[in-house]
Amino acid sequence: MKPTSVYERIQKLSSRADPYPLYTELRRTPVSLQEDGSYVVSTYEEIIALLHDPRVSSDRRNLASPPSPQQDGLPPAFIGLDPPEHDRLRRLTMRHFGPPDTPGKVAGMEGELREIITGLIDGIADRGRADVVDDIAYPFPVTVICHLLGVPREDEPRFHQWAEEIVETLGPGEGDQEERAGRRQAAILALGKYLAELANAHRDRPGDDILSGLVTYKGPDGPMSDIEVITTSALLLVAGHETTVNLIANGTLTMLRDPVLLERLRNEADLVPHFVEELLRYEPPIQFLPNRVALDDITIAGVTIPRGSSIVLALASGSRDPAHTKDPDRFDPDRAYNQHLGFGGGVHHCFGAPLARLEAQIALSELAHRLVNPRLVKDPPEYRPSSTLRGPRHVEVEYDGVVPPAR
């Protein structure tokens, strides 16, 4: 039998609770060729270089053996496109989300976010035990993204299933690859159909939400085609859905494992943003970017990646590269200078980063302040299967009470 590669070992569910020692092993070969012909890149400088390298594409159709068209029911959203198409769609979407056309949008949501989180924590006040994932970390960002996008919150059970499916089948995993791709496609199509109907409804009666903005905008760069509206809103829904939950869950684990940290979070308001940045470095929700393609031969760290090859960027490994960060395996929110790969980089740098940061800062600070004597019930918890979007399935906590919100 062939020895399994480090990268393959990382995929195993048994590695999910603590993949980090395997990343240390992975970094011994900064650019490593896998059996399937892809190249895994695991060191900080090399990842940064490739994120900013115009010879690296995010469009899978540039692979030497591209996915067959029927397998791909919808064209890629802008996360899977290259400039200039990517730039146009990202610009069109940003018009309804941030500067320069909609500055202050995210900052202006702070009050609303606090209200939502207050309601969710009130909801667990009469119990002594809760699942931070199902009760807080999941419903919170979902409510926010639904509102932002203009998706009825009541429909959540419908698209939740699709979003899960899309995320779990992202990147490599255990089981039959064909079957995974098939499931993924079916979910994408179902979500697409749902969003198409919704988009039509918003065209007729536009509201103050992103989806309405996307379907009604007619200015420079626009309008978006029907298909573009669908792929873009699906991207936002899934991205806004399946990532922040893990950041909040990982943050809860981290602060409940360390009583001193929890106490500091209660007493030092200034610490919260630094805590969240360190989380993005130390326990990032997105561990890999599995979708890059070399458009030309690229020589990096002494290895030549041939044109047409698949490239996997191991973000979580890069953020723990000791050549870049001192004591990388220590959780230290006091780092004077924290450069991490949690939101990727280059042209695809996370679109929702300002929102994700605010969500995590608010949720974690409210949890720290309001739960009295919180304790983890099971540590480590059970994890979701994906190694790419890594996070706990549940975070059960017990507590002695819930104090009212500060303001």
Partner 1 sequence: MRGREALMYDPDPADDQREQVLRAAAACPVQALHVDRMTTQHRTVRPELPPSPTGGDDDFKRNGRIVIVGASLAGGRAAGVLRRDGFTGSLTLIGDEDHQPYDRPPLSKQVLTGRVSAEGTTLPHLREIEVEWLAGTPATGLDLAAKQVGLADGRRIGFDKVLIATGARARRWPNETEAGLDGVHVLRTLEEAELLRERLDAGVKRVLVVGAGFTGAEVASVCRGLDLPVTVVESGAAPLVGALGGVVGAVAADLQRENGVDLRCEVKVTSLEGDDQGRLTGARLSDGSMVEADVAVIALGAVRNVEWLRNSGLAAGPWGVATDAGCRAVDVNGLVTDDVFVAGDVARFPHPVYHYQFMSLEHWGNAIAQAEIAAHNMLSDQAHRWPHLSLPVFWSLQFGVNIKSVGVPTFADEVVIAHGSVEERRFVAVYGYQGRITAAVTFDQAFWLDFYRRLIEQAAPFPPDFRVVDRQDGARPVPAEVSQRVVPAQGATVMVTGHDPGERRVALANIQDEARH
130, exposed or middle or buried, with CB in 10 Å at 0-12, 13-18, 19+?
A: buried
Residue 270 contact among ligand HEM, partner 1, none, beta carbon within 5 to 8 Å by kind: partner 1
Nearest residue (CB) to partner 1, 365 versus 387: 365
Beta bridge partners of 376: 397
Specify the stretch interacting with ligand HEM by CB under 6 A; choose among 14-22, 231-239, 263-271, 328-336: 231-239
Quote the CA–CA distance of 82 and 86 in Å, as a whole number. 5
Nearest residue (CB) to partner 1, 81 versus 367: 81
**101 touching partner 1, by CB under 8 A:** no
Taking CB under 8 A as the criterion, which residues in 221-250 touch partner 1? none
Binds ligand HEM by CB under 6 A, chosen from 30, 76, 318, 342: 342
Specify the stretch interacting with partner 1 by CB under 8 A; choose among 12-20, 47-55, 257-265, 380-388: 47-55
Task: Kindly write down the DSSP assignment for every residue of 2-61, as one continuous string.
Answer: PPPPHHHHHHSGGGSS--HHHHHHHTTSSEEE-TTS-EEE-SHHHHHHHHT-TTEE--GG
**378 touching partner 1, by CB under 8 A:** no
Phi, psi (degrees; rounded to nearest 5) at 369: -75, -35
Specify the stretch interacting with ligand HEM by CB under 6 A; choose among 185-193, 253-261, 324-332, 340-348: 340-348
Select from 142, 71, 79, 73 the least CA-distant residue to 113.
142
**34 touching partner 1, by CB under 8 A:** no
Nearest residue (CB) to ligand HEM, 86 versus 399: 86
Nearest residue (CB) to ligand HEM, 210 versus 402: 210
Strands 310-313, 39-41: pairing is parallel
**396 touching partner 1, by CB under 8 A:** no
**104 touching partner 1, by CB under 8 A:** yes
The residue ranges of DSSP E strands in 302-390, in sequence order, are 303-305, 310-313, 371-372, 375-376
Select from 119, 30, 90, 387 the least CA-distant residue to 214.
90
Select from 393, 363, 376, 400 the least CA-distant residue to 259.
376
Quote the CA–CA distance of 333 and 278 in Å, as a whole number. 5
Quote the CA–CA distance of 236 and 131 in Å, as a whole number. 25
- What is each CA distance from 79 to 65, 111, 154, 320, in whole angstroms? 20, 30, 27, 25
Binds ligand HEM by CB under 6 A, chosen from 19, 139, 285, 381: 285
> Using CB under 8 A as the criterion, what x/- string covers residues 67-96 for binding partner 1?
---------------xxx--x---------
Quote the CA–CA distance of 302 and 372 in Å, as a whole number. 53
**96 touching ligand HEM, by CB under 6 A:** no
Quote the CA–CA distance of 168 and 241 in Å, as a whole number. 13
CB of 334 to ligand HEM, least distance (A): 21
Binds ligand HEM by CB under 6 A, chosen from 355, 367, 368, 395: 355
Residue 243 contact among partner 1, ligand HEM, none, beta carbon within 5 to 8 Å by kind: ligand HEM
Token pair 């059960």: residue: 396
3-class DSSP state for residue 284?
coil
CB of 289 to ligand HEM, least distance (A): 5
Select from 403, 277, 258 the least CA-distant residue to 333.
277
Specify the stretch interacting with partner 1 by CB under 8 A; choose among 178-186, 265-273, 313-321, 371-379: 265-273
**270 touching partner 1, by CB under 8 A:** yes
CB of 307 to ligand HEM, least distance (A): 20
Nearest residue (CB) to ligand HEM, 129 versus 349: 349
Quote the CA–CA distance of 181 and 139 in Å, as a whole number. 27
Residue 185 contact among partner 1, ligand HEM, none, beta carbon within 5 to 8 Å by kind: none
**118 touching partner 1, by CB under 8 A:** no
Quote the CA–CA distance of 279 and 111 in Å, as a whole number. 24
Residues of this chain that interact with partner 1 (CB under 8 A) are 45, 48-49, 52-57, 82-84, 87, 99-100, 103-104, 107, 269-270, 273-274, 276-277, 295-297, 307, 324-326, 335-339, 346-347, 353-354, 357-358, 361
Residues of this chain that interact with ligand HEM (CB under 6 A) are 58, 78-79, 90, 145, 235-236, 239-240, 243-244, 247, 284-286, 289, 291, 342-344, 348, 350-352, 355-356
